[in-house]
Amino acid sequence: MTRHDWSYYWEPSVFAQAMNFCTTDLPSCMTGKQVPRVSASGARIVRIADLEKEAILAAIAQLNGDKLRAAQLLGIGKTTLYRKLKQYGTCSSANL
């Protein structure tokens, strides 16, 4: 191996391309860049957590505040439902 010239592996252009590839594929939480909330087609991108919140609150509203029935229909446990409501800051039925 010492007789072979391995310097072509460290060409500046190849190294620069590798670094660009690595940094462009990192998640936004690591790069500090904000991800646009609109897709290339112009459609609005919604976080899954926001969709989940909307579904939970809508189900409770449609069932006139019956949280146990809402949890059953959503396929989640009542403890999970109450934890989510507490997380959203809407734990009391007066806020619904």
Listed by start position, the domains of the chain span: 48-95
Which CATH number applies to 48-95?
1.10.10.60
What would the pLDDT profile of 11-46 be if each residue is shown by its tens digit?
556 556 666 655 555 556 556 666 666 667 777 888
- For residues 4 and 23, give the distance between their C-alpha atoms in angstroms, rounded to a whole number: 31
pLDDT at 95: 46
Report, as an integer, the average pLDDT of 52-71: 95
- For residues 19 and 6, give the distance between their C-alpha atoms in angstroms, rounded to a whole number: 19
